[in-house]
């Protein structure tokens, strides 16, 4: 239970200005922060997927609350990682690492971890990390153009 409290506080900090602060003041470690946030996202998604696939394969009983909480927290941390990442491979690698660890856990533990790992590897391919980058580059270009336009207007006024 304490884990979800920590996740809630961290998620609130990230979405209430934490990602903007990292982007503005700590741009040098931006991809590192994106990797850590994506690792948390992949881990929380793995909790939800574990509770989805466990009952289907027959190795655990169905638990609804971890599925809902894991999905909500997973998407929340995914959105923060997506905003922070300047290179999509950095954020995708977190899902790949957690997915590979889940597959390895399938060899030594519960068999449904194979499917959990495969689901995380599928998420690493399907989740769009590139979309927000393009929007940022376009807005950056628009800001540069608008500042150049303002300078030319100021020069024409003189």
Residue spans per domain, the chain = 2-127, 128-158
- Grade residue 136 by pLDDT with cuts at 50, 70 and 90: very low
Q: How far apart are CA 136 and CA 93, in angstroms?
A: 21
Q: Mean pLDDT across the stretch 73-83?
A: 86
pTM over 0.75: no
What is the average pLDDT across 30-51? Answer: 87
| Residues with Cβ within 8 Å of residue 53, at least 6 apart in sequence | 112, 115, 116, 119
- Give the pLDDT confidence score for residue 109 in this predicted structure: 82
- Given pLDDT bands bounded at 50, 70 and 90, which one contains residue 97? very high
Average pLDDT over residues 5-17: 69
- Helix runs in the chain, H state only: 2-13, 19-25, 30-57, 64-84, 88-108, 113-126, 130-157
């Amino acid at each position: 239970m304490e884990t979800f409290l920590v996740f809630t506080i961290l998620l609130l900090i990230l979405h209430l200005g934490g990602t903007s602060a990292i982007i503005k003041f700590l741009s040098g470690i931006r991809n590192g922060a994106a990797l850590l946030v994506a690792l948390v996202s992949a881990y929380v998604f793995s909790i939800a997927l574990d509770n989805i696939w466990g009952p289907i394969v027959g190795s655990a009983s169905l638990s609804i609350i971890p599925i809902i909480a894991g999905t909500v927290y997973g998407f929340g941390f995914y959105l923060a990682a997506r905003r922070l990442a300047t290179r999509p491979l950095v954020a995708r690698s977190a899902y790949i690492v957690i997915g590979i660890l889940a597959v390895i856990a399938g060899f030594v533990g519960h068999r449904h971890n194979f499917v959990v790992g495969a689901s995380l590897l599928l998420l690493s391919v399907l989740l769009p990390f590139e979309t927000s980058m393009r929007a940022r580059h376009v807005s950056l270009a628009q800001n540069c153009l608008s500042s150049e336009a303002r300078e030319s207007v100021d020069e024409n006024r003189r």
